[in-house]
Amino acid sequence: MDMPASPVWQEQLFLGSWKSGDGDQINVVEPATGAVISKLKIATAGDVERAATIARDTQTAWAMVPFDQKAEILRKAAALLKERANEINDWNTRECGSVGPKADWELQATYEQAQMAAALPMQPNGEIFPSNMPGKRNYWKRVPIGTVGVIAPWNFPILLAMRSVFPALAMGNAVILKPDPKSSICGGALMAQILSDAGLPEGVFHVLPGGPEVGQALVEHPLVKMISFTGSTAVGRKIGETCGRTLKKAALELGGNNAQVVLEDADLDIASSCGAWGAFLHQGQICMQTGRHLVHTSVAEEYLSRLASRAENLACGNPAQEQVHQGPLINGVQAKRVEDIVNRSVEMGARIVTGGKRHGNYYEPTVITDVTSNMPVFSEEVFGPVAPVMTFDSDSEACELVNESPYGLAAAIHSGSTERALKIANRIQVGMIHINDQTVNNEFQVPFGGMGSSGNSGRFGGPANIEEFTTSQWISVMEEGIQYPF
């Protein structure tokens, strides 16, 4: 990829349009090589103040734009995503370590999100309720919240930002996006340019790359009326506490430690394929990653053999230079963290079947067995290409193992009997369950979200977006006023 000589994001922030910012420059580092591939202007708390004020001043006019004009802008944004796919995907690969098919899938999913959001403004947005007072009409409708702050992660930086940005805009809100500094070009600057070129009015959308200081300023700012956060449970709890204290709406999509349950009547070829995809896609750096493989004792050895064979066939390397299945982890800190989790689990008695070695920012696709529930590889969200396998002897035991985790994002169940699998699904406390499929599922038209430590039951997707990114208002009308007793 040919990098632009002086890209606008090196010197400016997108504060409704490209403007000078108060913060410093940082290096954008390619995780595959450690090379500096660009510079990035970082926002400050002062920039949050500027953005929030501009957003407040432009949001009312944007909310009044007719629904068909909002939809046209979002459809144009969708078209531009496709037109600029090569540029966006190249940055996703270089900046985030994404392999080509992952980048392609993320772009397509983001395109679908834009098309879905374009359909939202034309949906019914209220109801009429009866009254026991003659001549009175009660209108109840959904109205924009105001300014929505979106804090997005680095692993799927485009999709996980735009799945909030697009519907929030569609419902008449202004949006301030804080992308992670590790993914602020593909997941921030390029998206700002797309929305601007699509015709979004100046001042309605802002992009403020930055770390915790910027995030905290965004969460605490009184002009920001909602926070949509995707990231770790620890950070999400702090955001939830602040939003609760300030009576601010929060949509929290947090971590996961997702289980795939393989029953003795499962098709092991399909189950191991789903297990490999769920564990190793994007180096396992996905909140919906299959982090726990729970397999019936009678088929565990066969499942292990097939899963290990699939892991051994995965090619690792620099996705910008060669066709590979696995790229690098996002940085050395994360690679060492995965290594530490595996090593501590091995010290406690786990056995590595294949993989288990770190090479700089790369970590081999790893299958590990003899796992117990007290091991970190089972109890923690690994966020790396590691597939821990644990056995069970009954359906009840499988359900208990799934529910043992405080997380409740996704699960998969493999069985030759969908009826049996549905009975197990009814006993599992997670937000999404996929029968004879893998845990990493996303469809733009289906509400998405977790339970427990995986979120606060907020939902993204399809009709859930209308409620998520609006608040309600009751207006009653009397054609003629009435006299009260005093």
- Regarding whether 237 and 315 lie in a shared domain, the answer is no
- Regarding whether 276 and 143 lie in a shared domain, the answer is no
253 is catalytic: yes
Write the CA distances from 227 to 44, 251, 252, integer angstroms. Answer: 18, 6, 8
Query: Based on C-alpha coordinates, what's the Rg of the chain?
Result: 24
**Tell me, what amino acid is at 108?**
Q
The residue range of the domain holding 191 is: 8-254+455-473
Instruction: Give the CATH number for residue 67.
Output: 3.40.605.10
Does any domain span residue 54? yes
Does any domain span residue 367? yes
Mean pLDDT of 133-158: 96
Does any domain span residue 443? no
The whole-angstrom separation of Cα 472 and Cα 138 is 13
Mean pLDDT of 57-85: 98
Which entry of 287, 316, 364, 399 is annotated as an active-site residue? 287
Quote the DSSP letter at residue 299.
G
Does any domain span residue 32? yes
Residue 254 has pLDDT above 70, yes or no: yes
Residue 244 has pLDDT above 60, yes or no: yes
Does any domain span residue 3? no
- Regarding whether 262 and 235 lie in a shared domain, the answer is no
Does any domain span residue 449? no
Residue 350 has pLDDT above 70, yes or no: yes
Which residue do the tokens 């995907």 mark?
A: 89
pLDDT tens-digit profile of 184-231? 999 999 999 999 999 999 999 999 999 999 999 999 999 999 999 999
The whole-angstrom separation of Cα 182 and Cα 329 is 12
Does any domain span residue 440? no
- Regarding whether 105 and 245 lie in a shared domain, the answer is yes
Q: How far apart are the first and last CA of the chain?
A: 76
Where residue 238 falls among pLDDT bands split at 50, 70, 90? very high
- Regarding whether 469 and 384 lie in a shared domain, the answer is no
Which residue do the tokens 């800190």 mark?
A: 333
Does any domain span residue 479? no
Which residue do the tokens 């009840």 mark?
A: 396
- Regarding whether 166 and 232 lie in a shared domain, the answer is yes
- Regarding whether 372 and 318 lie in a shared domain, the answer is yes
The whole-angstrom separation of Cα 366 and Cα 364 is 6
pLDDT tens-digit profile of 2-31? 555 679 999 999 999 999 988 999 999 999
Mean pLDDT of 91-111: 97
Instruction: Provide the β-strand partners of residue 14.
Output: 18, 207
Tokens of 215: 């995030």
Q: What pLDDT is attached to residue 22?
A: 83
Instruction: Give the CATH number for residue 281.
Output: 3.40.309.10
Strands 258-262 and 410-414: parallel
Mean pLDDT of 45-65: 98
- Regarding whether 389 and 291 lie in a shared domain, the answer is yes
**Tell me, what amino acid is at 440?**
V
Across the chain, what does the average pLDDT equal? 96
Using DSSP, state whether 237 is helix, strand or coil: helix
Number of domains within the chain: 2
Quote the DSSP letter at residue 3.
P
The whole-angstrom separation of Cα 119 and Cα 106 is 20
- Regarding whether 109 and 166 lie in a shared domain, the answer is yes
Portion of the chain with pLDDT greater than 90, in percent: 94
pLDDT tens-digit profile of 271-283? 999 999 999 999 9
**Please, are residues 9 and 40 in contact by the beta-carbon 8 Å criterion?**
yes
- Regarding whether 346 and 281 lie in a shared domain, the answer is yes
pLDDT tens-digit profile of 369-426? 999 999 999 999 999 999 999 999 999 999 999 999 999 999 999 999 999 999 999 9
**Tell me, what amino acid is at 355?**
G
**Please, are residues 40 and 26 in contact by the beta-carbon 8 Å criterion?**
yes
- Regarding whether 268 and 250 lie in a shared domain, the answer is no
- Regarding whether 229 and 108 lie in a shared domain, the answer is yes
316 is catalytic: no
Which entry of 112, 253, 364, 468 is annotated as an active-site residue? 253
359, with CB counted inside 10 A (0-12, 13-18, 19+), is exposed
